Chains A and B, each alone.
Chain A
Amino acid sequence: EAQVTQNPRYLITVTGKKLTVTCSQNMNHEYMSWYRQDPGLGLRQIYYSMNVEVTDKGDVPEGYKVSRKEKRNFPLILESPSPNQTSLYFCASSLSRTGGSPLHFGNGTRLTVT
């Protein structure tokens, strides 16, 4: 089944404790991206990747890191999480960065930083 898989689904952590949210897609998609969803602010792009070893900042990259060493994986790293990073996170992928290919989203990771 074609899908984007994020793990974990739920995560509670404390301020400053490094964490990684994994994302993997099995559709051979070139383009991958991370979004966060917050009440009143909607869905905002954190980082994106147009292909292996090609990543760039989205609209809200502060406090996050990403890597794209393999085409299928695009982990999101929070080196020193803070409470303002409490959010619902989505990983997404599409065949390419151009508009014709829809973004397919993972099931989301609900992160709470205390």
Chain B
Amino acid sequence: AQKVTQAQTEISVVEKEDVTLDCVYETRDTTYYLFWYKQPPSGELVFLIRRNSFDEQNEISGRYSWNFQKSTSSFNFTITASQVVDSAVYFCALRDAGGTSYGKLTFGQGTILTVHP
């Protein structure tokens, strides 16, 4: 069975601080995909990034960066110089590559990030 754990339930930072959201996953599949989604206060789920299990390169997109380490089954998300608009719930998620879980996206419980001005 697949499992995603986001140990940090809530994080509170002051604007311009860097913050890292942790994600640890479990799967028996050798090929899989990891995702991060953002849920702002308005409620929608916004896709941020996809990473496949064969690609351990870190990725940077503006103030966002992702660190994938297969050896520790982790896919952590760092926001550099946080802003108030980053306040949201962030979800890490896992999907198998071959469709054996019939396309289901397994979500972590989410981390509530609050950025104070």
Contact = CB atoms under 8 A, between A and B. Distances in A.
Chain A complexes with chain B: yes
Interface of A: 31, 33, 35, 42-43, 45, 48, 50, 56, 58-59, 88, 90, 92, 94, 96-100, 102-108, 110
Contact of A102 (B35, B44, B107, B110): B35
B78 interface: no
Interface string B72-94: 00000000000000000001000
B95 A99 contact: yes
Interface residues of B, number: 26
A94 B103 contact: yes
Contacts of A97: 99, 102-103
Contacts of A92: 45, 105
B97 A98 contact: yes
